[in-house]
Amino acid sequence: MMTFRKISADCKGRLVTSYYTQELPDPEHDFRLEPDKVPDGDGARLTSYYTGRDSRAAWRPDMRQSIADVLGIDRFSPPQNEQLARLYEGRRADSGEPWSAHERKISAYDLTLAPHKSVTLAAEFASTPAESAAIWHAIDRAGDATMRYVARELGKARRGDGGKDGSQDGEVAWVSYRHTAARPTVEARDPGSDVTYLIDTPVGGDPHAHIHYTLFNAVVTDDGHVGSLDTKQLRSRVHEFGAFFQAVLADELRRIGIAQQYDAGEQATVISAVPQPISDFFSKGRRNVLKSAQDYATSQGLDWEDLSIEGKRRILSMSGLAARLDKDQDASDRDIWRRQADAMGWVDQSLMGKPIETGLNRHQRIEAAWQFAARHLEKEFETAAVIDHSKLRLYAARGLIATGINGGIRDIDEVVRMTERRGIDIRGEAVQLVCAVKGDRTRVTHNAQIRIEEELAMHVARAAQDRSGALDRTALDIAMQKSGLDFSSDHGQAQRKAVYVLGEGGAIASLSGVAGAGKTALLKPLVSAWRADTRHETGGRHVIGVANAWRQADALREAGIIETHALSPFLDRAERGEIALSRNTVIALDEVGQVGPRQMLRLLELQKASGMTLRFMGDREQAQSIEAGDALEIISRVLEKADKAELLSTVRQREERDRTIAALFRGEPPSREDLEAFQRKGKAANADTDAERDDDLRNRFHAEEVQRAIDMKRKDGTISLVSGDHDEVLAATARQYVERRDALRRDGKTISMSALTNQDAADLSRAVRKLLQERGEISRDERIVKAIDQRGEEYDMALAAGDRVRLYRRVYAVVDRKKITVGNNGDIVQVVRHTAEGVRLRRADGVETDVEWRRLADASSKRVLLGFGHALTVDSAQGITSDEHINAMPRGADLATGFTSYVAESRARGKTWTMISDAATFEAVRSKRALGDATKITSDDLWKHVASKMAHKPYKSLGMDLQHRRLEDRDKRVRELIVLGQRMETAEKQGRDLAQEARLTIRARQVERQSPRRLAEIDAQIRQLLKDVPVLMSDREQKLRRERAGYIVAPDRGARPSSKAPGM
């Protein structure tokens, strides 16, 4: 794997050098004076092992003299600490003068390469020093090859301001450092100042082989020009470089006879003989280091939480030693690692053997790598309609890990060309890739995605023309009057307009509403009006409520809808004919933003076959579909204003200030003038090298809105950076939840809590459970059950009376011989009691049911599908309303998006308490800074980082947009699709097959291009026959007409089955 970090030219070079050299002194030997020490060829790494200099700095082995001269490096002499310090400050190694006339803010890039943990352990626990050296030699050779690849791609001197005049190939230099252990950084809170510090632990780490390559930010061209690295591709291709390293490493290990296989994610090569449990044991990380320090403090009669930061730092520096047995007090880390491995059953044997061949020739290697890449690209396109072209290179390189990469970079190029030429299979359908350049990046989609999106657009346009199911205004007015709802306020008037749009619209109409706008409430008069409409059936219209999840669908019953379904099973059953659909049917689809184009197209095809009416409700600014593409965006583009309603005001929050904050988290659509103001131009645009790329200007605009919302919450005291380590942040958030729950409960009010991930929701729920159990609200009579969540994560779960648990699927039970629903995926129920046979659960409405364990069991693992339910993920929380809410981010805001933040910040009628880990936020800001940047990190820096993460909205791209760079071109294409959709509706009414007509038209145009001369001759002869015999068709004319028709309708032969052309 590869990671990278910038090094600031304003750094203190001595400190940066000390970090990389691990404070080792300068080398004892000067290779210029002691030629017998000069390493020869492949023996270089073995010599460095036996002389004990494997951790010291080493220049690029094949450094050219031209770059060495510019940097003041003597490439035949080992690096000295003083020289390195100067280089990291952007100065020549020999004289200390700047190496370029142009000031450098970044002096170098730290590119770190690391093998899988199994390779580290094989080197650490090798049976002989020679075998260890051979494995390290393989790592080094793979690293050197990878860096030469990086140099080829980034070693281009940018010309002009910020590179506006392009780039020119040149020479680059780097220095490498071999490190053997990981030293985790842990969080520690100072109780005196309530400030959280990050401490780099000097001991207690795990074996972790990795090599730092610091690539200097200088490129020397053949004409002597000195420029800076062209790092625009670095962020998008860093994983590709890491995959190339793994592929070369696999080849090197095969050469020394070490058997390998892929890791679980097929991203790295793993040494087969290293047991996975031992690899897992030596991947403990910071949590275990911290626990070791806390245990040591307890053993000494100290309370970890009350210790000063100095005391915590001292314990962290010695807890690794104190954790050892008395006889191991003087042992080194390596000795301890070895004893731990032996205790776990490590077998001391050589892993090397005869060289291993893959048994594949070049053609077979490329073919196998293409199959690997095609399989993984299919997975990418399941969730993204458009991907970066770099993904093709990434999966090509990963495919070559197993097949061998004897051809080096050329092999990657060949696999990519094959992928572009052949295409891939998606859901069993052969598709062709479509590539286009957007900005300075190449993006990729496929023709099946374009077809799906364009067919969806045409279906929407077609359905919108059908007004046969529209209600008249009088019926809607009567229904609104009977509903008892107040439509007199400004918000009520907006709701009235929405009722008119949904009632009077065509076969498809939509409502976009902010969270808490009362979308479900305004459905009540519509449902009443539809049921009173007896034009198609005497019993009125059949209204069905549908949503992505059962819980969301069942919520539509509040609007008077009796029949509800989750979308996926609804589509399956409707396509099988198990659910009767007709022109009398109305489908109310909620949370439409979570529905992808494929499912939406299936729904529109059902609409075409049945003539049913579709009504969509949702908000594109909340959680999006997991599936590739954006169905709601397509619908919004195609529908006319008369078929689109909006509710942009909310009635959920009681106070105006809370409504304003929620509105800022949602954001206003920026005008074109607003976006122009955020467009980077000139030098700034070209200088955007390796920063996080964001082509969507709306996010820069929205960041200012979120910053205003955060400023308001800071004044109100409803947002905080919580100090302490991870466990302390969880505990503080749990205390806030319980304290607010107690206060609200006295007034009959409720509180909810959401987190960004399933893991965070589980950790928060456990922290709350611990508090409630200490207070006696949860029994200590526990039953440990084997549990599993919807992701397949397995864990032991303690259940007791009083526990709140989350269901991960729809659960049924039998009460009085009647089958009832206990709850749906995402619902929270309370444990009343547990037995060996099952558990009694209480629903939110107070109904209690006995559920057998088998009804909760996962079919494959037999574990129960349950999780603790005091906190939900944000996606699960969408659709709930409570009096107060906690938006918890115990790992910081880095996984937040503008969508999740808006959902979390709009659940409450009252206050939303936003609690974010201070230490995680500080670490995120620190890690983005260049190494050695001494600029103080301020509170404003932390909040700016939080705002940027909570504002970022990763809108899903559309495949059909890739071919149209300008907005005007996209709009033109949508208008074309609307016309096609309208023609489809007209043709169907006339009994014509428009699709067959289109196919014949396309075939005719193809034939005209392929056989123009013969067709012209036939046409001329037919015209002459018509002139000579104007009434009767002769045998000759019939023969000619049949011949001409044969050109058009004859099927193609020998073509590879593929997706239909876009738009067809």
Indicate if the pLDDT at residue 36 is higher than 60. no
Q: What is the DSSP string of 887-938?
A: EEETT-STT--HHHHHHHTTSBSS-EEEEEEHHHHHHHHHHHSPBT--PPPP
From residue 233, give the alpha-carbon distance in Å to each of 89, 153, 154, 173, 886: 24, 8, 8, 18, 39
| Nearby residues of 427 by Cβ (< 8 Å), 6 or more positions away | 378
Mean pLDDT value of segment 631-654: 91
| Nearby residues of 432 by Cβ (< 8 Å), 6 or more positions away | 423, 446, 447, 1058, 1059
Indicate if the pLDDT at residue 100 is higher than 70. yes
Query: Domain check: are 645 and 707 in the same one?
Result: no
Share of the chain above pLDDT 90, in %: 59
Higher-pLDDT residue of 303 and 386 is 386
Mean pLDDT value of segment 878-893: 94
pLDDT of residue 154: 93
Query: Domain check: are 173 and 29 in the same one?
Result: yes
Of the candidate ranges 467-471, 514-518, 872-876, 982-986, the one whose mean pLDDT is the lowest: 982-986
pLDDT of residue 369: 97
Domain boundary among 897, 927, 951: 951
Give φ, ψ of 143 to 5 degrees.
Answer: -65, -45
Bridge partners (DSSP) listed for residue 864: 787, 857
Indicate if the pLDDT at residue 200 is higher than 70. no
Higher-pLDDT residue of 971 and 826 is 826
pTM of the model: 0.84
Domain of 99 in residue numbering reads as: 2-178+208-273
What is the distance between the alpha carbons of residues 388 and 436, in angstroms, rounded to a whole number? 10
1003 pLDDT band, cuts 50/70/90, is: low
What is the 3-state secondary structure of 258-301? CCEEECCCCCCEEECCCCHHHHHHCCCCHHHHHHHHHHHHHHCC
* pLDDT tens digits, 365-388: 999 999 999 999 999 999 999 999
Over the chain, what is the mean pLDDT? 86
Mean pLDDT value of segment 648-660: 91
Query: Domain check: are 932 and 1029 in the same one?
Result: no
Residue 290 resides in a domain: no
Query: Domain check: are 443 and 490 in the same one?
Result: no
3-class SS of residue 577 = coil
1062 pLDDT band, cuts 50/70/90, is: very low
Residue 164 resides in a domain: yes
Residue 341 resides in a domain: no
pLDDT of residue 963: 78
Query: Domain check: are 443 and 483 in the same one?
Result: no
Query: Domain check: are 489 and 410 in the same one?
Result: no
* pLDDT tens digits, 593-618: 999 999 999 999 999 999 999 999 99
Query: Domain check: are 706 and 755 in the same one?
Result: yes
Indicate if the pLDDT at residue 868 is higher than 50. yes
Domain boundary among 923, 951, 979: 951
pLDDT of residue 4: 92
Query: Domain check: are 266 and 407 in the same one?
Result: no
53 pLDDT band, cuts 50/70/90, is: very low
What is the distance between the alpha carbons of residues 20 and 17, in angstroms, rounded to a whole number? 5
Helix or strand holding residue 483 (H, E): helix 473-483
pLDDT of residue 112: 95
For residues 756-793, one letter each, b for 16 or more C-beta atoms within 10 angstroms of the residue's C-beta and e for the rest, the string is bebebbbbbbbbbbebbbeeeebeeeeeebebbbeeee
What is the distance between the alpha carbons of residues 816 and 906, in angstroms, rounded to a whole number? 40
Residue 461 resides in a domain: no
pLDDT of residue 783: 94
286 pLDDT band, cuts 50/70/90, is: low
- Cβ contact 6:930 at 8 Å: yes
pLDDT of residue 210: 93
Query: Domain check: are 472 and 410 in the same one?
Result: no
Query: Domain check: are 730 and 647 in the same one?
Result: no
Where are any strands of DSSP class E within 429-539?
429-431, 433-438, 441-446, 508-513
Give φ, ψ of 431 to 5 degrees.
Answer: -125, 155
Share of the chain above pLDDT 70, in %: 86
332 pLDDT band, cuts 50/70/90, is: confident
Higher-pLDDT residue of 444 and 50 is 444
Residue 63 resides in a domain: yes
Mean pLDDT value of segment 90-104: 90
* pLDDT tens digits, 317-328: 665 544 443 445
pLDDT of residue 747: 93
Higher-pLDDT residue of 977 and 217 is 217
Indicate if the pLDDT at residue 802 is higher than 90. yes
622 pLDDT band, cuts 50/70/90, is: confident
Q: Give the number of C-alpha atoms closer than 13 A to the C-alpha of residue 963, restricted to the C-beta side.
A: 15
How many other C-beta atoms are found inside a 10 Å radius of the C-beta of residue 101? 6
Query: Domain check: are 751 and 842 in the same one?
Result: yes
Q: Minimal CA–CA distance to 124: which of 348, 377, 431, 359? A: 348
Mean pLDDT value of segment 58-76: 94
Mean pLDDT value of segment 511-531: 91
Joined tokens for residue 797: 């779960």
Query: Domain check: are 605 and 702 in the same one?
Result: no
Joined tokens for residue 11: 């750094």
* pLDDT tens digits, 727-785: 999 999 999 999 999 999 999 999 999 999 988 999 999 999 999 999 999 999 999 99
Structural domain tally of the chain? 5
Residue 296 resides in a domain: no
pLDDT of residue 320: 52
pLDDT of residue 432: 94
